[in-house]
Homo-oligomer: A and B are copies of this chain.
């Protein structure tokens, strides 16, 4: 069992003062090489690690980042999106020496209790918040607090001066649909995600834009809500079939899987009878039954960027607000028919 040491004690062992040890620990330049080596040696032997509370108190920095998943999306934590995002964020935190503290709000109560503690206790250097409903009080509260924060994703009405990063859902959907158009499809259906969601809305816009750009009509019968679930995609597809789509663009891979299943059950061939394109490319590890053509969101890198941006804000302030939109990538596999 390793005894916990202090700078003072390390200093005594190395025959120097605590300041010198502090300098060595913090990699400051003005220490004689020989002394530095002696101190390092003692640190190695003792396994010394500086006390983080004391350090935070003195520097007014905790080295801790918060990741906040508001109540309205907490139930979706099973969603691979959050898992991957979290993974990217922790990865970047590890690389940059930050610790990550996770806040999932399960109830109103949690939110009321934790938000002030989190924004006022100077426990966190900065916060990454998952965007949520427009009326979520969390953004205004963070704006009042003197705490750097970054929104991941966007709200429909984003307050002025808020930093965010997001994926370009409009152009992603556009790419998907244009790809189908280029393959000769004309009756392209769209299974949307829940439309209380900015991402769903944007993907719908991209879908319509692509049709318009190629002089194809928008047929409202070909637009059905799939609620971001596999069953939703399945049901949506059943609703679509009477209107004879020759292709389906689903706003998520999960829904695309549901669609593929529905097509299979209806005895239709993919991609010959109906082509399918999804969105996300988050499932590859789970599901290889279908080689799904999809729009890849670079979620992992997205998480990494989130950490980079928030730490930039922490170091240099929030002016001007950082607002970055990341591009997506069309991943051609088999369900679109381009590979035949």
Contact = CB atoms under 8 A, between A and B. Distances in A.
In the complex this chain forms, how many copies of it are found? 2
Interface residues of A, number: 60
A67 B90 CA distance: 12
Interface in A274-331: 282, 285-289
A78 B86 contact: no
Q: Which of A49, A145, A234 has the most CB of B within 10 A?
A: A49
A195 interface: no
Interface in A76-121: 77-78, 80, 82-84, 86-87, 90-91, 94, 99-106, 110, 113-114, 116-117, 120-121
Given A122-B4, A146-B1, A287-B230, A90 B113 contact: no
A261 interface: yes
A178 to B, nearest CB: 30
Q: Which of A1, A48, A51, A78 has the most CB of B within 10 A?
A: A78
Contact of A2 (B78, B106, B117, B145): B145
A327 B105 CA distance: 28
A272 interface: no
Contact of A77 (B53, B86, B120, B234): B86
Contacts of A2: 120, 144-146
B56 A53 contact: yes
A235 to B, nearest CB: 11
A52 interface: yes
Contacts of A229: 286
